[in-house]
A and B are shown apart, each in its own frame.
Chain A
């Protein structure tokens, strides 16, 4: 079953702009992960943030986690056309012992 919702469902920006995607979830978690999926392909892991962390950076990616609000955001800075893809948040909870994906955001970066 789907753990969370992502917002917006679709986002279209110009190359060079920043893109922000939000994820909300329902139950307590051990960690939250972000994945990217190019059209019809497998998912690629981007970043993992643990429940006791508040912010994490990896290259042009910045992830925040607010466990009190059960929400996370993914910021992609200086976007490129190659960033065009679907982005999914996924939560891992000890009770479920499985990774549960959010609904996804379709990002389009226009050259």
Chain B
């Protein structure tokens, strides 16, 4: 199975809501990533879990909180988001080295 799955596909939330995005892979990869992508822009790295160690892009606000329950699952918890957080959120996985990353289809998030 060479697929990364993400749920939900679409999410609309208010600024006071709490929601979570989910990502799963069964390729035995030891690194998983969250990216944020605005329209007509490249993906920007938010978080990396590599061998269960978290690395954070320090520009990411604390209203985004990652969680890695096990090596196959990656969650992104959302709380008190702003309209400018509306974007496509992409999950990816890799062996943890310098090789290719496998991307999921993304979650289209709209914050009202």
Give the interface of A toward B (CB within 8 A).
Answer: 2, 30-31, 33, 35, 40-45, 48, 88, 92, 94, 97-104, 106
Contacts and interface: CB of A to CB of B under 8 A. Distances in A.
29 contacts: A2-B42, A30-B98, A31-B98, A33-B100, A40-B88, A41-B105, A42-B90, A42-B104, A42-B106, A43-B43, A43-B90, A43-B101, A43-B103, A45-B101, A48-B99, A88-B43, A92-B98, A97-B55, A98-B55, A99-B45, A100-B45, A101-B42, A101-B43, A101-B44, A103-B41, A103-B42, A104-B40, A104-B41, A104-B42
Interface residues of B, number: 22
Mostly helix, strand, loop or mixed at chain A's interface? Answer: strand
A31 B98 CA distance: 8
B64 interface: no
Nearest to B106: A42
A41 B106 contact: yes
A42 B6 CA distance: 10
Given A40-B108, A42-B106, A45-B100, A102 B42 contact: yes
B48 interface: yes
Contacts of B45: 98-100
Interface of B: 4, 40-45, 48, 55, 88, 90, 92, 98-106, 108
Nearest to B88: A40
A2 B92 CA distance: 18
Nearest to A2: B42
Nearest to A31: B98
